Amino acid sequence: MYDSIAVVGATGAVGTIILQLLEDRKFPYKKIKFIASKRSAGKEITFSGEKYTVEELKPEVFDGVRLAIASTPDDTARDFIPEAVKRECVVVDESGYWRMDPTVPLVIPEVNAEDIRKHKGIISSPNCSTTQMVVAMKALYDYSKIKRVVVSTYQATSGAGLAGSRDLIGGAKAHLEGKDYAYECFPYPIAFNLIPQIGSSKYKGYTSEEMKMVYETRKMLGDESIQICPTCVRVPVTNCHSESVLVETEKKITVEKARELFAAFPGIVVADDLEKKQYPMPVNCTGRDETFIGRIREDLSCENGLTFWCVSDNLRKGAATNAVQIAEWMQKNL
């Protein structure tokens, strides 16, 4: 058992949810500490009825800590995680820095939990847009190998952090009042608009966010042959990412079989009745830990194609929940 634990980035948007999940799920520990940047150090956090002082992120803060769940920027993860590992602390990392390191397992517990056993001090949690897609893909992949994926994402402003959410609210209010608004996060107005770029220009016109979906999917499914064509779009929605996903499988999967496979897979909820207007939407998926799937139908352009709509809370299953689930698996199995 990892009896001494820490949460790094405890005062951030994802860190706050991690604390809530640890408390709600009664995560086992004997000692716990909360760590953040120098700016947040000294603040008080109430956790399970007790008050704790947030400690500054320094190498020595990991002395005696056996397990840390961390949500920090990439450059912070690059610098502090090796120092934590030196001190025999295992880190579940939410950042993007270590995900494609061949020595670091990239894990969604419902998909490839056994990979956690290969860790050398670091376990990575994948990108939020990748997570929900791979959960859905795995349900089908176990029945028939997937050859190709075409995915378009509709990503909420909360995925860009607290500043992204401020931009949506402030920009929408200013727009309705006919006033100007100085956006702090997005290069263009996000209120009443779509921005078809998330991340930097990366490869052949694809962005860094889009290429994460390619590389991370192949790594977690252990299949470099899957062809993936992603388009990532920022939309004026506060929370929950939505995705339109088309998969081409080696063996035909009927709509009925797909519903059966999705419904039987852990962490998936099927809401799929077009006539009754039942399908997942951000408004009814926010605050939930599952991946929701609907609009399941055969691809009219491809014999073995299947398309569906997928929604998940990007701050929970796309980030905090997945990291906590990894830590829970470790407590039970290592």
Active site includes 185? no
Identify the active-site residue in 128, 232, 240, 285: 128
What token pair was written down for 228?
């993936």
* Strand, helix or coil for residue 136: helix
* Residues making up the chain, counted from first to last: 334
Alpha-carbon distance values, 8 to 36, 40, 77 (Å) = 6, 11, 10
Active site includes 241? yes
The rounded distance, in Å, linking the Cα atoms of 227 and 214 is: 8
CB-count burial class (<10 Å; 0-12, 13-18, 19+) for 281: middle
Q: CB neighbours (10 Å) of residue 176?
A: 10
Identify the active-site residue in 232, 241, 285, 310: 241
Alpha-carbon distance values, 80 to 9, 11, 35, 70, 75 (Å) = 12, 17, 12, 10, 9
The rounded distance, in Å, linking the Cα atoms of 19 and 46 is: 10
* Strand, helix or coil for residue 30: coil
Closest CA relative to residue 53, chosen from 62, 61, 42, 64: 42
- Name the residues annotated as catalytic: 128, 241
